[in-house]
Amino acid sequence: MALSRGLRCCQRVFSWIPVLIITAVVLWSYYAYVFELCLFTISSTLEKVAYLLLFHVCFVMFSWTYWKSIFTPPASPCKKFQLSYSDKQRYEMEDRPDAQKQILVEIAKKLPIFTRAQSGAIRFCDRCQVLKPDRCHHCSVCEMCVLKMDHHCPWVNNCVGFSNYKFFLLFLAYSMLYCIFIAATVFQYFLKFWEGVLQNGPAKFHVLFLMFVALMFFVSLMFLFGYHCWLVAKNRSTLEAFSAPVFVNGPDKNGFNVGIRKNLQQVFGEDRRLWFIPVSTSQGNGHYFPLKNRSSESQNPLLANENMWEESDDGSEEGSLVEDVDPSVTIEMEE
C-alpha cells in the first residue's frame, strides 16, 4: 500500500517535467528577446519600443492561456449522475447482475443520456460509480470521469475537456502568434549575425537559436492547431474522432454536429468579443449537448431533452422523463 502511494507520488512529480520544460524554454526566450535582442542588439529606440510592446502583449496572452489550461480543474459529472448513498447500498447488497442493472436503469430515467457504449449498453463507470454523461470519459491519469473529455495533455499536465477546452485552443493560437512574432522580428538580425554584419557576442547565440526554436515550435503547433480547428468545426473531440459516439441507431461521427456557427458557440460562447480572451464562456454545463438528429431523442426512452434538465430554485438539478424505460436495456461496467 505504501509502495503504491509512493509510486503515485513519483508519477505526479514526474508529470510536471513537460510543463517545466515549456516554462524554461519560454523564460529563456523572454530573456533572449528582451535583453539580448531588444536591449543589446537593436540600436533604434523606436524599433525597441515597438518590438517590446508587441512582444509583451503576445507574452502575456500566451502565459495567461497556458496558466488557465494547466490550472483549470477538469469538470466531473454532478451528483445527479452519481449513485446516492442509498442507491449504492442497494447496488452493492444486490447479488443478481440483472437486478443491479435495473437499479442503474431506474437512476438513468432522470438523466439526459443519449450515447451508448460500443455494445449498445448504457455507459457506467465502476470506478467513479457514475452514469457517464454524453461525451464523458474516465481518465486513468487524473483518476476521474471528465466531462466532454478531449485528451489528457502532458504539456499542460491536465485533462483537456469541457472546462478548459477553450483555454487550450487559445493557448495553441497564442503560442503560434508568439512564435511567429519572434521569428518575423528576429529574422533580419538572424541574417546579419549569419552573414557577419553584426559582431560576434553572446547575443549571436541567443538570436540564432531564437529563430530556430520559434520556427520549430510554430510548425508543430500549426498542425496541432489546424487539427483542433477542424474538430471544433465538426463538433468532435479527439476521442470521438478516433471512435465515433454510439447512439441508439448506431455509431454516428456527426451526431453532435449542429452547424459550424453553433459548434463554435458551444466552445467560445455567443459573445464574440470574449472569444479571444481566456474566460469561461462555453455554453451549457457539460452534461448535455444538442444533437444533430433531434428525432433520436424521442426514439430513446432513456433520454431527456434540455428542457427537462433545468436547475430548480434551490440550485439542484432535476430531470424527468414522461416515457417508461425499456427493461431490456443493459448496463455496461466500464473502467
- Cα–Cα distance list, 256 to 121, 165, 184, 253, 310 (Å): 19, 16, 39, 8, 20
Q: Could you tell me which residue, 181 or 197, shows the higher pLDDT?
A: 181
Judge whether residue 204 has pLDDT over 60.
yes
pLDDT category of residue 11 using cuts at 50, 70 and 90: confident
pLDDT category of residue 2 using cuts at 50, 70 and 90: low
**Inter-residue contact 37 to 207 (CB < 8 Å):** yes
Whole-number mean pLDDT of the chain? 85
> Average of pLDDT values for 184-209?
88
Whether 153 is catalytic: yes
- Per-residue pLDDT reduced to its tens digit, 132-177: 999 999 999 999 999 999 999 999 999 999 999 999 999 999 999 9
How far is Cα 226 from Cα 169, in angstroms, rounded to an integer? 10
The pLDDT assigned to 263 comes to: 96
- Per-residue pLDDT reduced to its tens digit, 238-259: 999 999 999 878 899 999 999 9
Q: At what angle do helices 165-195 and 45-71 cross, to 10 degrees?
A: 150
> Average of pLDDT values for 283-310?
63
How far is Cα 259 from Cα 234, in angstroms, rounded to an integer? 8
The pLDDT assigned to 285 comes to: 93
Judge whether residue 318 has pLDDT over 90.
no
Which candidate, 265, 275, 75, 61, places its Cα nearest to that of 175? Answer: 61
Judge whether residue 237 has pLDDT over 90.
yes
pLDDT category of residue 99 using cuts at 50, 70 and 90: confident
User: Which residue(s) pair with 144 in the sheet?
Assistant: 139
Share of the chain above pLDDT 90, in %: 61
- The beta-strand segments (E) located in 109-217 are 122-125, 130-131, 137-139, 144-146, 151-153, 158-160
- Per-residue pLDDT reduced to its tens digit, 106-134: 777 788 988 888 877 778 898 988 999 99
- Per-residue pLDDT reduced to its tens digit, 13-34: 899 999 999 999 999 999 999 9
The pLDDT assigned to 249 comes to: 87
pLDDT category of residue 209 using cuts at 50, 70 and 90: very high
Judge whether residue 304 has pLDDT over 70.
no
pLDDT category of residue 316 using cuts at 50, 70 and 90: very low
The pLDDT assigned to 294 comes to: 59
Specify the DSSP element, H or E, that contains 30. Answer: helix 17-31
The pLDDT assigned to 202 comes to: 84
> Average of pLDDT values for 47-64?
97
| Domain boundaries, given as residue ranges, for the chain | 5-75+162-217, 79-132
Give the three cell numbers for residue 3.
Answer: 509502495
Give me the catalytic one of 58, 139, 142, 153. 153
Q: Report the range of poorest mean pLDDT among 30-44, 256-270, 311-325.
A: 311-325
Judge whether residue 314 has pLDDT over 50.
no
